């Protein structure tokens, strides 16, 4: 299992991020329209997966805004923003913020994403929510970059994630 910080406390996650060089794990998520989709919709595309605890926190919403801004310059790349938030909360936030360049999705229904990516915090006050992480996948479906952010209150390394797409 991996670890991250929540304030001054170290919290454990349910596993490890997929290894660089491994195939993207299969997953099923729920979109803001309540329709389920799986990882196959990203086949043949570069993919940045922004994983975070909740859209209703400052750093999480900042990461979605920043990846949305950067998405405009990334041809052939999808950016998937994943949490366990209810799809209605994701839809409300994205609508209010004008977020249209990323794909917001929830693991609230299937719960398999957390297992496949090892990101569920298994202790601490936010137990059951996701740790902050980024996974970058090439158009060939192979993981090119991962980052388990050292502290939940810290933004991911956007530049490193985008550079891994090259």
3-state class (DSSP) for residue 8: coil
Residues 118 and 78: their CA atoms lie apart, in Å, by 21
3-state secondary structure 70-134: HHCCCCCEEEEEEECCCHHHHHHHHHHHCCCCCEEEECCCCCHHHHHHCCEECCCCCCCCECCEE
Whose tokens are 């490193």? That residue is: 160
Whose tokens are 């994403």? That residue is: 113
Exactly one of 60, 81, 99, 105 is catalytic; which is it?
60
81 assigned to active site? no
Which residues belong to the active site?
A: 60
């Amino acid at each position: 299992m991996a670890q991250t910080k929540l304030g001054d406390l170290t919290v454990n996650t349910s596993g490890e991020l997929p290894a660089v060089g491994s195939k993207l794990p299969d997953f099923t998520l729920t979109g803001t329209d309540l329709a389920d989709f799986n990882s196959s919709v990203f086949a043949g595309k570069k993919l940045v997966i922004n994983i975070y605890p909740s859209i209703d926190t400052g750093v999480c919403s900042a990461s979605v805004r920043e990846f949305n801004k950067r998405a405009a310059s990334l041809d052939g790349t999808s950016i998937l923003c994943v949490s366990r938030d209810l799809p209605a909360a994701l839809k409300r936030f994205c609508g209010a913020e004008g977020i249209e360049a990323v794909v917001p999705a929830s693991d609230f229904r299937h719960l398999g994403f957390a297992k496949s990516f090892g990101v569920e915090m298994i202790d601490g006050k936010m137990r059951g929510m996701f740790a902050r992480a980024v996974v970058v996948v090439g158009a060939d479906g192979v993981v090119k970059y991962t980052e388990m952010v050292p502290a939940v209150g810290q933004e991911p390394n956007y530049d490193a994630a985008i550079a891994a797409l090259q």
